[in-house]
Structure 1
Amino acid sequence: MGENPTRGTDTTQTRLEGEPHAAGTPKIVGIVWGLLVLNTLGSAGAKTIVPLPRSLIQMVTMGSLVAAFGLALLVNQRVRIRASAYVLLLSLLLVSSVISSASLESGMGALFRCFRLTLFVGTLWLLSRWWDGSLTFVRYHIRAYFAVLGSVALGLVVSPGKALPGLYGGRLVGALWPLTPPQIGQYAAVIIGLTALLVIGRRTDRTSAVLVIVPSLVLLALTHTRTATLGLLLGLSLAIGSLILTSAAARRFFSWSVLISVVAAVGFASALQTWFLRGQSQENFSSLTGRAKVWNALLAEPRSTAQQLFGVGLGDKSFGGLPIDNSWLAVYNEQGLIGVTLVAVIIVVLGGVALLRPPSLQRACAIFLISYCAIASYTEAGLGDASPYLLHLALAASLLAAPAQAAPLSTQLGKPLAKRLSEPEAPRRHVPRWARGSEVN
């Protein structure tokens, strides 16, 4: 992402008043984050231009997770971590998953998925050292997913037939890497929302933002993904709403968005309805493309008390050979009521912390990510296992973390009391009035 040349710069990135300094974040941390993104892309999807064996794809995705954990351990050799309610709750979910998978009702694959989740959570613990409320990880997130969308766009250019197959109703898929329309829509919606917020907060220049937002909007439209579109609109509305009282740019953006939406609704109502229905019948649309039938069958399945509490173990998020496509029911099936409770607590805790924070760009980005994941959880699975959704929430947790202290407390406590008392107090630097507070202009 580009920077605003009219602002002052430090050694890593342009910062405005009120943004925590993250100059101490090693570049290798960004590589680790990118590897986590690669791991969560999955191995199932459309047919690619060059056929890729699923075993090869799984080797790449799992290898990226092992590499991410190894690099995170290398850059954080002393295993310094920060307290994080989010990662702690994920750790409890991992324990619950191991208990439910130990019975092997879902086969040996359940234990392998537990191992994958262990590495995923372990890597987040190692990265938590650099969670200081800065926008560093937001930039990592945008760059990584924009690279993924770049591969989708390249596949569309090279082979439009493979990228828009009739099997998916002409919706955009990954022709180079097997990505489904909902995946592409999700990635596009998330980076559009985050980039728009960076523009509002003047953390990036408009040229760079246009180069990210416009292609992503085109790809999102080609996927015909309703969940991602609604998540983007509602999540961005909530995020901008959290800035309206303190940001003139947010108020202008919101006003223009409302005006454009009204014009589009009046002038392009028929085209929007056609895009939204995707040629489906009223019955198919009302049953959420057949999802409701799977959900009803899952809920009607007889279960023992142990299965109700702990589930049947981590699986492929399907029931009766059909995808569940609902995070809450998928967690209930695989991790039971305990898993559902833990996932609900994660959403509530992150949302509660975001609401208690004073208005800021970091808080707005966190609200967007949390609300998007909550909205998408109704028709997409992923909140109970290593997935992009857990990575989005990890980013939200990093944005809500308190800024790190300039000097570790242990360094001060390790000094003799007499020496600490005898040291002169550091001179206070005068801060202009315009630089005080956390208002986003």
Structure 2
Amino acid sequence: MTTSLHAPAPVTGPRPAGTPKLAGIAWGLLILNTLGSAGAKTIVPLPRSLIQMVTMGSLVAAFALALAVNLRLRFRPSAYVLLLSLLLVPSVLSSVHLEAGFGALFRCTRLALFVATLWLLTRWWDGGLTFVRHHIRMYFAVLGTVAAGLVVSPGAALPDTYGGRLVGALWPLTPPQIGQYAAVIIGLTVLLLLGRRTDRRSAAVIIVPSLVLLMFTHTRTATLGLLVGLVLAIGSLLLTSAAARRFFTWTVVIATTVAVVFAGALQSWFLRGQSQENFSNLTGRAKVWDALLAEPRSVSEMLFGVGLGDKSFGGLPIDNSWLAVYNEQGLVGVTIVAAFIVALAAVALLRPPSLQRACAIFLISYCAIASYTEAGLGDASPYLLHLALAAALLATPVAQPQPLPPPALPAQARAKDRPYIPRWARRPEVT
């Protein structure tokens, strides 16, 4: 289930053709690796070992392809990937004690391979939109499997165990995952449409089904992140884009009308049938957070954490990136994560208005909002890939070498190269 996102007009800046196809395939394999191995029950039961073999195999294949197209190991400087590399230090220091089991060392190896692949791909981070298109196409293909599962077996795709929310029936994906993928590609496609980098038909093919799937997931975090991210991204284009101003105006009018007319239905969708108390403690997340913060820790555990785990505490998911990083990589890890988010945000604010800057602002703001109720900023995850895409968009374009002018010939050589004209054919000199 793919679609074209080619521009009707050439993209200014570095040419996307400069990025090898293998680099785009490697990016897609990184996305496959971060899909995870735990989720809902599928129509055809898939052993977890098989899913882990596919995801880890995709990471190894991504590294091999990135290395194959960058054998000379040419990297571009990237503060984001550098700070991500530093995050390996507290991860390894806390994992070698094996408090989280041998799985912690396995996750460290996975994170190291993930970061190494990003380093190899930085060679083509030139501020262009090539990786944005790879990002949209791959996640749209993932959503295609979700839609196919919904058509084949609606009961398995909308199970009672998840409160009737949409899950992956062909590949084990949870509602928050599906909501995240849908929200991200909707936001990026809207921005490409405003920047005239795609046509309306191609954009509609992406946006409409993704929006339907997002509504079926009842994912409040993804919906809020999409709305806030688009407001900030489009706001950065208001002064330079008439299309952005028109879109912003019509969106405000339509959103206000819908909010007034369908206020009751929107409230029911947002609450998902939960009580006010359950909603106020974030579906039980606050209890896990309080227990995690109250847990006594040694100085080493406070600084470096207990090692990379499955982002859970006491058998319950943490569902907060900052607390998950604090638990697994300590205060040092929290500081590094905060540093690369602040660095990306600062660079985005200092860049002149452009479509690339708007896409980066959307991705950074979405990840910042989702970090409150979703874990993933401290380990190989889709959120780190979203931020890597933002870093690629904010990279300084590579200056294209200008051809040197031909050297000037001496007067004698120029006279020698002139064609011979007979005396009788020469024009008479005017005196």
Give the unaligned 5+ runs of structure 2: 409-431
Distance 2:298 2:5 in 1: 55
User: Is 2:139 the counterpart of 1:136?
Assistant: no
CA displacement, residues 273-308 of structure 1 (integer Å, 9 cap, x when unaligned): 000000000110000000000000000000000000
SS at match of 2:42: coil
When normalised by structure 1's length, the TM-score is 0.90
Moved more, 193-202 or 71-80: 71-80
Q: Counterparts of 1:384-403 in structure 2 under 5 Å?
A: 384-403=378-397
Larger Rg: 2
**Are residues 1:146 and 2:124 paired?**
no
Give the deviation of 1:95 after TM superposition. Answer: 1.8
Looking at structure 2, the residues matched to 298 and 196 of structure 1 have their Cα atoms a distance apart, in angstroms, of: 39
1:2 aligns with 2:5: yes
Q: 1:61–1:270: structure 2 CA closer, same or farther, 3 Å change rule? A: same
Deviations 1:197-249 (A, max 9, x none): 00000000000000000000000000000000000000000000000001000
Aligned-residue RMSD, C-alpha: 1.5
**Aligned mates of 1:423, 1:91 — CA distance in 2:** 48
TM-score by length of 2: 0.92
CA distance in 2, matches of 1:75, 1:423: 36
User: What per-residue deviation string (whole Å, max 9, x for no partner) do you get for residues 374-401 of structure 1?
Assistant: 0000000000000000000000000000
Deviation at 1:24, TM superposition (A): 1.2
Residue in 1 aligned with 2:162? 168
User: Could you tell me how far apart the structure 2 residues matched to 1:57 and 1:167 are?
Assistant: 22
Task: Output the CA distance in 1 between the equivalents of 2:30 and 2:66.
Answer: 11
Aligned to 1:255, the other structure's residue is in SS state helix
Residues matched between the structures, number: 405
Matched, 1:157 2:151: yes
**Matched residue type, 1:145:** Y
Q: Please state whether the residue corresponding to 1:23 is helix, strand or coil.
A: helix
> In the alignment, which residue of structure 2 is the partner of 1:312?
306
Q: What's the counterpart of residue 120 of structure 1?
A: 114
> What is the correspondence of 1:93-242 to structure 2 with a 5 Å cutoff?
93-242=87-236
Q: Is the 8 A contact 1:232 1:372 kept in 2?
A: yes
Q: Is the 8 A contact 1:164 1:172 kept in 2?
A: yes
Q: Is the contact between residue 327 and residue 382 of structure 1 (CA under 8 Å) also seen in structure 2? A: yes
**% same residue:** 79
Q: Aligned to 1:25, which of 19, 29, 42?
A: 19
Q: Is the contact made by 1:22 and 1:132 (CA closer than 8 Å) also made in structure 2? A: no
Give, as a single letter, the amino acid of the residue that structure 2 aligns with 1:85.
Answer: A
The reply on whether 1:337 has 2:300 as its aligned counterpart is: no
Structure 1 unaligned spans of 5+: 8-13, 413-419, 425-441
Distance 1:24 1:198 in 2: 20
User: Within 1, Cα distance between the matches of 2:5 and 2:188?
Assistant: 14
Q: Is the 8 A contact 1:149 1:216 kept in 2?
A: yes
Residue 405 of structure 1, CA deviation: 2.5
* In structure 1, distance between residues paired with 2:14 and 2:69: 21
- Which of residues 237, 245, 250 in structure 2 aligns to 1:251? 245
Is residue 5–residue 133 contact of structure 2 (8 Å, CA) maintained in 1?
Answer: no
Mean Cα deviation higher: 104-113 or 93-102: 93-102
Counterparts of 2:296 and 2:254, CA distance in 1: 50
Q: Which residue of 2 aligns with 1:291?
A: 285
Checking the alignment, whether the CA contact within 8 Å between 2:304 and 2:328 is kept in structure 1 is: yes
Question: Partners in 2 of 1:342 and 1:384 — Cα distance?
Answer: 9
1:162 deviation in Å? 0.2
Matched, 1:321 2:315: yes
